[in-house]
């Protein structure tokens, strides 16, 4: 719901409220973001700014003299005394840089706005309203639109900004953020980001916000595993179930930037948008630039509720298309099973065993296209390798159908190998500075997605691949970051390259996903190097990490769970010793961790024992029974300490859920565990089963408040029959079912 009263805008969701006003002088002043209020009176929490301190710059706001340095602004600008970090920085047509944006008009509408050329959230079943506040630069006449979306049920507010050049010549955007949030000085805040690397994604980094800038960014071209665009600002005492927490994300797959600037008095300015260091955009007269969409949510009760808001929003308002609510197939992926050593018969044999275990789809990973026997060649040449697949992929998909399996395929469309026919024909299509030496990453180069001909080539090539057989699933990979940045689509100003690349990618993905709506797309970037809401607008799931060791994955998936629902995290059971860590982890643990995501297997089933295959059959039977509940349920991090992690997923509509307990190391003395559940109906009766034949029935209230003590871990004693025998990296799963 969005209301305007006496120049004050109230943006209300079920539990939260965001308030700003237009001052007498026309400035957009932020007033409040937090729990919903029951009175419209904003006077109590307005800043009482009436004089200008010391060396500050004075701005005449009609009835008061203010300094922009202490003003809580909706979108701060350069040149009028706000010497903190600012959100918009423009070099005007006359070469000056000052902006003085004042209110022109506003427009409140039902439904969700769209952002031209960019993916963004949509209303779905939520009740959504949009607001556009038009501001005009007193100096130059250019227009700034502040765009807001209010998602009532999701408790989410989205933001974006649009610049329209009304000047007598071209202007240069040096920086334009998507969102800004000015917070009051009454709390000590922490900045919480998720940092990582290849096979080491989503490690929480929590830093106290001190005077100055606390920031994170991607410089990689894609959103990157270095810092995920999801982050939080929270009061320093916040934990899972206590404290004020703001969650932020960006619907963007490129270089992003998040920062919290604290002034010496403790006011904190958060902002999020395209990384300005890797950006610069020229707008001709009449030209328009629109930012990616930023997402914000608030919880007054800790991380858990913030995460639930984000999960719901991603599931309902970001993920779209035929696969939105469909149960995701259990797949077998050929990568860690066979690497490049594949052919039709070998894959069919793998698929046959997989199908006997209950799996539903075979993914031919890398190595299926002409000449691709290792990672040194052939990217860009998207024709089927006739030696490995003499009868084409259609023959394999027909054979798979006869055993009840579907076919999926891996592609890496944004890349080109130097050793490829495509490079020999079109070296100018690769990202490299003409005439200069360039660097490789995984032996390959990026294709220049700013070039229309390249986009056309990729779209046509993928169209052919996706139609060459009955393809039901596509893994869209991207295995290197940028170097030698240069695009043919922005020859005069290479600061435009990175953003134009992302726009080009979205154009291709938009075309292909709408032409092939039945295909389940999973994106990937050497694991989680492009795990973001922009990709999730096209691909309902993303491969979480190339690290398939469950004892690492449990942390990586915990990291993702702060901002993303588990249904969008691809998670596989792989072979042991694990290929990334050489660690041996029980098969049950590998499954229990993967089961919370979009489950797959990535191991050579034909090397497993009958006993292991029997276990896998049982795992998949279990998964299929509860997959809907787990995938559509609400995910909770129940607890975490240095030796134990507990998760839970609960489908409220069905009254069914699953809880998982993971023990890192066996420590003889520390053998007790209690699971305190979340999200249940307090008065409903539930049965809790699993583990060491546990079967306990009581109310949701008891399960949530007192919890359930599970069987003691084995310590060595006489009566050990019912003990929980643990080895290092052990898990147990418990099922929870409402008894009506």
Q: What is the 3-state secondary structure (H, E, C) of 184-230?
A: CCCCCEEEEEEEEECCEEEEEEEEECCCEEEEEECCCCCCCCCECCC
Give counts: helices (H), strands (E), the chain.
12, 40
Smallest gap, in angstroms, from Cβ of residue 410 to ligand GLA?
A: 5
Beta carbon nearer to ligand GLA, 329 or 526: 526
Determine contact, residues 635/307, Cβ cutoff 8 Å.
yes
| Residue number, 564 or 688, with CB nearest to ligand GLA | 564
Is residue 530 within 8 Å of 253, Cβ to Cβ? yes
Contact 157, 525 (CB under 8 A): no
The SS3 of residue 615 is helix
DSSP assignment string, 619-655: HHHHHHHHHHHHHHSEEEEEEE-SSEEEEEEEETTTT
Closest CA to 536 of 329, 316, 258, 326: 316
With helix as H, strand as E and coil as C, how does 282-335 read?
EECCCCEEECCEEEEEEECECHHHHHHHHHHHHHHHHCCCCCCCCCCCCEEECH
Q: Name which of 317 and 523 has its Cβ closer to ligand GLA.
A: 523
List the beta bridge partners of residue 191: 207, 233
Q: What minimum distance in Å lies between the beta carbon of 340 and ligand GLA? A: 8
Out of 82, 182, 477, 651, the active site residue is 477
| Cis peptide bond upstream of 561, omega within 30 | no
Which lies closer to ligand GLA via its Cβ, residue 135 or residue 363?
363
The least CB distance from residue 222 to ligand GLA, in Å, is 13
Tally of CA atoms within 13 A in the half-sphere of 94 that contains its CB: 9
Could you tell me if 676 and 717 are in contact, meaning their C-beta atoms sit under 8 angstroms apart? no
Q: By C-beta, is 342 or 469 nearer to ligand GLA?
A: 342
- CA distances to 69, 237, 303, 713 from 264, rounded to whole Å, are 11, 21, 27, 52
- Check residue 557 and report its DSSP letter: H
Tell me which residue has its CB nearest to ligand GLA.
Answer: 366
**Helices 550-561 and 587-594: angle between axes, nearest 10 degrees:** 10
| 143 CB-contact burial (10 Å; exposed 0-12 / middle 13-18 / buried 19+) | middle
Neighbours of 65 (CB within 10 A): 13
User: Among residues 214 and 545, whose Cβ is nearest to ligand GLA?
Assistant: 545
Residue (489 or 526) nearer to ligand GLA, CB: 526
CA distance 329 to 406: 9
CB nearer to ligand GLA: give 254 or 526. Answer: 526
Query: Which tokens hold the place of 670?
Result: 């520390």
How many CB atoms are located within 10 Å of the residue 424 CB? Answer: 11
Tokens linked to 72: 């809580």
Cα–Cα separations (whole angstroms), residue 467 to 8, 372, 389, 508: 54, 20, 16, 16
Given the residues 381, 451, 546, 651, select the one marked as catalytic. 546
Q: Respond yes or no: is residue 546 known to be catalytic.
A: yes
d(CA 233, CA 638): 21
Give the nearest distance from C-beta 454 to ligand GLA in angstroms.
21
Q: For residues 34 and 527, which CB has a smaller minimum distance to ligand GLA in the complex?
A: 527
Give the E-state strand segments of 36-79 in sequence order.
Answer: 59-60, 65-66
Q: Which is nearer to ligand GLA, 579 or 664 (CB)?
A: 579
Overall size of the chain counted in residues = 740
Is residue 387 annotated as a catalytic residue, yes or no?
A: no
Question: Please, which residue, 103 or 410, has the CB nearer to ligand GLA?
Answer: 410
Query: Residue 630 in contact with residue 658, Cβ under 8 Å?
Result: yes
Closest distance between ligand GLA and the C-beta of residue 408, in Å?
Answer: 12
Q: List residues binding ligand GLA (CB under 6 A).
A: 335, 365-366, 410, 477, 479, 524, 526-527, 543, 546
The residues facing 628 across adjacent strands are: none
Shortest spacing between CB 571 and ligand GLA, in angstroms? 12
Q: Cβ 88 to ligand GLA, closest distance in Å?
A: 37
Q: Are strands 361-364 and 406-411 parallel, antiparallel or unpaired?
A: parallel
d(CA 527, CA 542): 8
Q: What residues are annotated to the active site?
A: 477, 546
């Amino acid at each position: 719901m969005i209301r305007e009263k006496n120049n004050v805008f109230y943006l209300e969701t079920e539990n939260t409220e965001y308030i700003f006003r237009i001052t007498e002088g026309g400035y957009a002043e932020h007033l409040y973001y937090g729990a919903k209020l029951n009175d419209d009176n904003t006077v109590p929490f307005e800043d009482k700014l009436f004089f200008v301190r010391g060396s500050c710059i004075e701005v005449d706001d009609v009835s008061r003299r203010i300094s922009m340095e202490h003003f809580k602004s909706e979108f701060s600008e350069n040149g009028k005394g706000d010497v903190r970090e600012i959100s918009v920085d423009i070099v005007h047509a006359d070469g000056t840089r000052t902006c003085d944006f004042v209110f022109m008009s506003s427009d409140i509408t039902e439904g969700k706005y769209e952002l031209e050329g960019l993916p963004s959230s949509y209303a779905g079943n939520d009740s959504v309203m949009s607001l556009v506040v038009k501001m005009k630069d007193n100096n130059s006449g250019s227009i700034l639109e502040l765009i807001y979306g209010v998602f009532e049920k999701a408790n989410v507010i989205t933001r974006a900004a649009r610049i329209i050049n009304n000047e007598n010549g071209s202007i240069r955007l040096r920086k334009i953020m998507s969102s800004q949030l000015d917070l009051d000085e009454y709390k000590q805040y922490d900045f919480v980001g998720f940092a990582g690397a290849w096979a080491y994604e989503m490690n929480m980094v929590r830093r106290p916000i001190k005077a100055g800038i606390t920031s994170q960014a991607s410089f990689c071209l894609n959103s990157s595993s270095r810092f995920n665009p999801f982050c939080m600002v929270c009061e320093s005492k916040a934990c899972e179930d206590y404290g004020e927490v703001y969650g932020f994300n960006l619907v963007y797959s490129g270089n992003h930037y998040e920062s919290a600037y604290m002034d010496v008095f403790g006011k904190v300015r958060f902002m999020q948008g395209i990384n300005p260091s890797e950006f610069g955009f020229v707008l001709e007269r009449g030209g328009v630039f629109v930012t990616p969409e930023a997402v914000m949510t608030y919880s007054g009760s800790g991380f858990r509720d913030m995460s639930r808001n984000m999960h719901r929003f991603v599931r309902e308002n970001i993920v779209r298309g035929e696969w939105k609510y469909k149960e995701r197939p259990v797949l077998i992926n050929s990568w860690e099973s066979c690497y490049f050593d594949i052919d039709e018969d070998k894959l069919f044999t793998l698929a046959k065993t997989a199908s006997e275990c209950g799996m539903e789809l075979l993914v031919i990973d890398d190595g299926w296209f002409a000449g691709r026997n290792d990672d040194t060649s052939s990217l860009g040449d998207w024709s089927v390798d006739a030696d490995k697949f003499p009868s084409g992929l259609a023959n394999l998909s027909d054979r798979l159908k006869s055993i009840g399996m579907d076919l999926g395929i891996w592609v890496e469309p944004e890349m080109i190998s130097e050793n490829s026919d495509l490079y020999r024909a079109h070296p100018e299509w690769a990202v490299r500075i003409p005439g200069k030496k360039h660097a490789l990453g995984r032996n390959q180069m990026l294709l220049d997605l700013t070039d229309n001909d390249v986009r056309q080539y990729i779209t046509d090539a993928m169209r052919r691949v996706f139609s060459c057989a009955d393809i039901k699933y596509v893994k869209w990979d991207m295995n290197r970051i940028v170097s030698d940045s240069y695009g043919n689509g922005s020859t005069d100003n290479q600061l435009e390259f990175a953003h134009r690349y992302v726009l080009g990618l979205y154009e291709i993905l938009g075309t292909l996903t709408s032409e092939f709506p039945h295909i389940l797309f999973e994106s990937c970037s050497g694991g989680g190097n492009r795990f973001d809401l922009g990709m999730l607008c096209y691909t309902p799931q993303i491969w979480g990490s190339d690290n398939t060791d469950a004892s690492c994955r449990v942390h990586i998936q915990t990291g993702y769970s702060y901002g993303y629902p588990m249904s969008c995290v691809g998670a596989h059971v792989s072979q042991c010793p694990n290929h990334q860590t050489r660690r041996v982890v029980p098969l049950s643990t590998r499954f229990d961790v993967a089961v919370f995501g979009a489950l797959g297997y990535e191991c050579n089933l034909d090397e497993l024992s009958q006993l292991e295959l029997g276990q896998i059959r049982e795992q998949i039977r279990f998964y299929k029974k509860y997959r809907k509940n787990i995938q559509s349920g609400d995910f909770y991090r129940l607890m975490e300490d240095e030796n134990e992690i507990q998760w839970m997923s609960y489908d409220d509509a069905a009254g069914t859920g699953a809880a998982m307990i993971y023990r890192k190391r066996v420590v003889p003395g520390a053998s007790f565990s209690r699971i305190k559940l979340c999200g249940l109906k307090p008065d409903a009766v539930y049965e809790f089963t699993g583990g060491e034949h546990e079967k306990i029935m009581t109310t949701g209230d008891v399960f949530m408040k007192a919890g359930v003590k599970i069987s003691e871990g084995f310590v060595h004693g006489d009566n050990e029959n019912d003990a929980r025998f643990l080895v290092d990296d052990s898990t147990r799963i418990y099922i929870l079912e409402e008894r009506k």
